[in-house]
Amino acid sequence: MPVVALHVLEAGLSCVVHGGMDGWQHWGVPRGGPMDALAFGIANALVDNPPGAPCVEITLGGAVFAVVQSCVVGIAGALTWSVQGVPMPSWTSIWLRAGQRLDCHAGGGMRAYMALAGGVNIAQGIGPRWLRSGDDLSP
């Protein structure tokens, strides 16, 4: 059983996990993917994940995560972030300790991406997986 790194306290307006839909085109499913491919790629690169590794796409903020297990996340995009209420810069990696709270706030733009070192392992079907309060994210 995977070790839970982050617990979703609030998913906000729109919070999804995806990395695109390569490999399904023969079934008529378009590739799709993140709305901001540059920020998506940078978030993954910040934690040494392979290009296209699934990560969390947040639209308009409102996402709140409880840190269950110490981990490293890469954050990129136009929204603002805080850890325990302390503002964090975007376009960087952050080491999080168990017991902390990570918030993504509206401001500056529409979308942000959070990549978890080791990838985001969550049950997924065709298309992006919408996060809900109570979901757990594991590398």
pLDDT in tens, 30-40: 566 687 889 99
Task: Summarize pLDDT for 35-89 with one digit per residue, the tens.
Answer: 788 999 999 999 999 988 989 999 999 999 999 999 999 999 999 999 999 999 9
Average pLDDT over residues 1-16: 87
Given this model, what pLDDT does residue 91 score?
A: 97
**Residue 46, number of CB atoms within 10 A of its CB:** 21
Starting at the edge strand found earlier in the chain, the sheet holding 129-130 runs: 92-96, 71-77, 111-116, 55-59, 14-18, 129-130
Whole-model pTM: value is 0.88
